[in-house]
Structure 1
Amino acid sequence: MRNRTRRAGERIARLRLAGALDPDIDAVTPAVVIGLDAGYLRCRHRRPERNSEVIAGKVLNFDGSQHRFAFARKGNSASEFAAAIVSAGVRLGTPATVLSDGDAGLWKLQRQVVPEATLVLDWWHIAMRFEHALQSARGIGQGTTSAYLRTYAVRNLESAKWKLWHGGASACLGRLAKLANRLDCGHVRDVRSAVAARRHVNDLIEHLHANRHALVNYGRRRNEGLPISTAFVESAVNEILSKRMIKKLQLLRNRWTVQPILNMRIAVLNKTLGGSFRLLYAAFQAENDHDVPSVAALQTPRLRMLSAY
C-alpha cells in the first residue's frame, strides 16, 4: 500500500486540474496570509540522518479559503515553496503577510520567494517566553530578605510585554536589557532563582533581537482582526504530519521518498484528489457528483485505501 500511495503521489504531483489557467506571474490578486512551520519525521535509516524536516504551511485567501502545502526540506526548498504558493494563487504582485515562529530557515525561504511580504513574528511563542521569565522572576528571593527584587523584576517584565504588544519593540528591548544587567549584579547574582530568571530574560532578548524585523504592533493588528499567531499553521502541521504520519502510522521514510506521500495528504486535505484521478482515469466517477469528491466518496476499494493512507 505504501508503494502504491507513493506512485500515485508522484503522478498527481505532475498534474494540473482540468480548467486551470496558466499562472500569470504579474497578476495582482487579493492579499493573502501565509503561515510557515516545520515538523520532523523519523527516518527509515538512522544514517546519514535520524530525522528529516518537513516544512508545512497554509495560505489563507481573501475569500476565506485555505490551501495547505508541505514539502521536505532539501536543496530545492525555495523552488518547492514557490511552486506551493503559486498553486494557491499567489503571484508576484500579491500583497502577502508571512507569519512564522522565528526559525531562521523559514525566514530565509521567505526572503527568497516573497521578499516584499509583511513579516509577523508569532505572538504565542513570544508570550510563552515572557511567561517563563515571569515564573522565574516570581521566585526570586522567595523566603529571604531579598524578596523585594521579585517585585522589580516582575514589574519590568510586565512593562516590557505591554510595550511590545503596543508596538514599542525598541522600548521593550531596552527595558529587558536593563533588567538583565540588574540581575547580573554581584549582590543579585547569588539570590535564589536569580540565575534562572536571568537565563530566561537573556533568551527572550535574543529571540526578540534576532526577529526584530518581524515585530509589529500586535494590539493594533488584533483590533483590526488581523492574524498575530501561527495557530492556523499548527493545525496544518497536525493535519498533514502528526495525525497520519507520526501519532498513528509511524511512517519511516526519508526526505527523498516522503514527498509523494505528502502530495497525497495535501490532495486529500485540499479536496483535489478526485479531480486528479479524473485526469488520470477519464471514467472515474464519484458516488455523488454534486459535491467535491472526498476520501469517503471514492468508488473503488483500492482508491479508498490510497486516500485513507
Structure 2
Amino acid sequence: MAVEWTITIEGKNEFGDVCRKAVRIDKSWERLFDGDLGLSIEDGKTIMTALQSAVVNHEAETYALFRRVCPDCHTFRPVKDYTTRQIRTVFGTVEVRNPRWMICRDCYPGMVVAFAPLKEICPDRATSELMELTARLGSMMPYRQAANVLADFLPIEPTETHATVRKRTIRIGERLDDQSAEEERRARMATEVTEERRQFEMQLPGDRRKEFVISIDTAHVRSADLNSARNFELVVARCGRGGRGEPGGRYFVTSSTDQTAIRDRALHALQQEGYCGFGHVTVISDGAEILKRLPRAMPKPTAHIIDWFHIAMKIQPMQQIADHMARSRSGLSEALPTINRDIRAVKWRLWHGRVDRAIRNLEQLLARLKASQGDGEFSVARLHSLGSQLLTYVRSNRGAIVNYGKRYRAGLRVATTLAESAVNSLVGKRMVKKQQMRWSLHGAHMLMQVRTADLNGELRDRLREPFRQPEPNVPPLFKPKPPLLRAA
C-alpha cells in the first residue's frame, strides 16, 4: 500500500502569467516499520530541486528580458542567438535558456558587440550562495569531508568532488585577496596624507578606546614544496580598539613576511575599526624578528610591547625549580638561600617595567648559579640555562618592555591572548594540529583569506559586491553624449 503526494508549485510574474509545476512523491506504508516517518532528506532534495528549477528559469528569463531593453532609446535590442546554460545552485543544477543580445545599432552605429545577460549575474556558472557555502566548508574542514557534507544534505551533482571544493575555495580566496589589496592601496594613500597628525578626538581620562591594539603572532604550517624548508610561517593578527573586555576586533592573515605587506594588512584592518591614519597604535607581539618590523613601518605614534605571557612563561619554570630547591632543604638551599626571592624580584621588576634593575639582578643570579655548578646538581645547571635564555630575551627586547602593572590597572591589554586564540581558530584546527596535510604557500594564503572573511562576518557581502553594479556593455569612450551636453 502506498500514498502518492502531489506538491504543486505556482508562481506569478510581473505580467500576470501563472506558472505551475507538480512534484510527485510516493510513500509506502512498509517504510513505517523501519522507523522512516515523514519526509526524508531525499524527498526534500526532490522537492527543492523542482522548486529551484521553476524559480531559476523564471528569474533568468525575466532578467534577460530586462537587459534586452536599451537604456538609451528604450527599444528592444537585436537577438544574436539562443543557447542553453547550466547553472549550479545549492538545490541542484538548473538548465536555463541563455540568449545573447546585440547592442543597439541606432545608439551605437558601426559597433557589432554581443553580450550574454546571464553571465552578468552568474559568471562562474554557479550561484554566489553555492560558491560561498563551498568556500566556507572548505575553509573549516578537509576538502573531501566538505564534499561529502554537501552531497549528504544538498541535491548537488556527483561531479561536485573534493577537487571542485578546493578550486572554488582557492578562487574565492583570490577574489578576496584582490579586494583587500585594492582597499589596502586606498588606506595607504589616506595615511600618507596624515602621517604626522594625531587623532582628532577628545582625550577623556581613563578612555581605553583611544588606543588601537594589534595583537600579532606567527603560525607554522607544513610545506608541500620539496625544494623549500619543512615549514613556512603565516602572520596572524587581530586588530581592535580598547582594553580588556572590549571586542577583539578584526582578523587578518598573510603569508608574506614583508614589512610593507604586513603594514598594509594592519592598516586595512584598523581602518575598519575607526582608525583614520593618525591615532595611538600599540603592537603586542612575542618579540619575533619578523614581527618587530611592523611597528617601525606603522604611522606615528606607534608603540611596540612584548607580550607579558611569554615573559611570564620563561620565568615560571625557574620559579618552580627554585621552589623545589627551597622545599628539599638540601645543601643547595643553604648555598643559595635567597634564590626563590631573587627570581620573584626579577619577575616583579619586569612587571613594573624596571628593565635595568631586572637585568642586573639576573646577571648577579647567574653568577651565583655558575659558582654553584661545581656541586654537580642538575637543578642548578637547568636553572642557569633558563636564566641565560631569559636574560638574552630581555636584553634583545629591552625597548619593548613597559610598565605592565600600570597598563593592567588602567584596563589595557598586556598580552597577545587574542592573537594566540586567532592562531588556534584560524590555522591550528585546519592546518596544523588535527590535519596532517602539507600546504603550498599560495594555497594556504588563499584559504586563510576565506577563513578570515568568514570570521569577520563579511564573506557574503564581499562576494556579492561585484554584482551590485553590473559592468556596462559598451566602453564609456563610445557612449554618445546628449546634443545639449555636447553643445555646452
Structure 1, unpaired ranges of 5+: 284-309
- Other-structure match for 1:85: 266
- Secondary structure of the residue that 2:282 maps to in structure 1? strand
Q: 2:343 aligns with which of 157, 166, 175?
A: 157
The residue that corresponds to 2:250 in the other structure is: 67
Matched, 1:50 2:235: no
Superposed CA deviations along residues 282-304 of structure 1, whole A, max 9, x for unmatched, are 49xxxxxxxxxxxxxxxxxxxxx
**Aligned letter for 1:57?**
A
Q: 1:246 and 1:108 mapped to 2: Cα distance?
A: 26
Q: CA deviation at 1:253?
A: 1.6
Distance between the aligned counterparts of 2:251 and 2:235, measured in 1?
11
CA contact (8 A) 2:295 2:303 kept: no
One-letter identity of the residue aligned with 2:254: F
Residues 1:131 and 2:316 aligned together? yes
CA distance in structure 2 between the aligned counterparts of 1:147 and 1:219, rounded to whole angstroms? 31
CA distance in 2, matches of 1:28, 1:162: 34
Query: What secondary structure, in the 3-state scheme, does the structure 1 residue paired with 2:438 have?
Result: coil
In the other structure, the counterpart of 1:109 is: 294
Which segments of 5 or more consecutive residues in structure 2 lack a partner in the other structure? 1-164, 200-209, 470-488
Match of 1:13 among 166, 174, 177: 177
Partner SS state of residue 338, structure 2 = helix
> Mean Cα displacement is larger for which, 95-104 or 42-51?
42-51
Q: Would the aligned equivalents of 1:137 and 1:150 in 2 still touch at CA under 8 Å?
A: no
Give percent identity, aligned residues only.
27
Cα distance in 2 for partners of 1:147, 1:191 equals 14
Q: Say which one has the larger Rg.
A: 2
> Post-superposition shift, 1:165?
1.4
Which residue number in structure 2 is paired with residue 178 of structure 1? 364
From 369, 387, 412, the equivalent of 1:201 is: 387
Aligned residues: 279
Q: Which has the higher contact order (CA 8 A, sep 6+)?
A: 1
Query: Is the aligned partner of 1:4 residue 2:4?
Result: no
Q: CA deviation at 1:92?
A: 3.7
Say whether residues 1:118 and 2:303 are aligned partners: yes
2:285 to 95, 100, 125: 100
How high is the TM-score relative to the length of structure 2?
A: 0.53
- Verify the 8 A CA contact 2:369 2:384 in the aligned structure 1: yes
- Quote the Cα distance in structure 2 between the aligned partners of 1:43 and 1:20: 28
Instruction: Using the TM superposition, give the Cα deviation of residue 79 of structure 1 relative to its aligned residue in structure 2, in angstroms.
Output: 2.5
TM-score, with structure 1 as normaliser: 0.82
CA RMSD of aligned residues (A): 2.7
Which structure's residues are more often strand, by fraction? 2
The alpha carbon displacement at 1:11 in A equals 1.1
Residue by residue, what CA displacement relative to the aligned partner does 1:118-148 show, whole Å, maximum 9, x if unpaired? 1211111111111111223334494643322
Provide closer, same or farther for how the CA distance between residues 146 and 246 of structure 1 changes in structure 2, counting only shifts above 3 A.
closer
Query: Which letter maps to 1:136?
Result: I
Cα gap change, 1:115 to 1:177, in 2 (>3 Å): farther
CA contact (8 A) 1:53 1:255 kept: no
Deviates more, 1:261-270 or 1:236-245: 236-245
Separation in structure 2 between the aligned mates of residue 237 and residue 188 of structure 1, nearest angstrom: 40
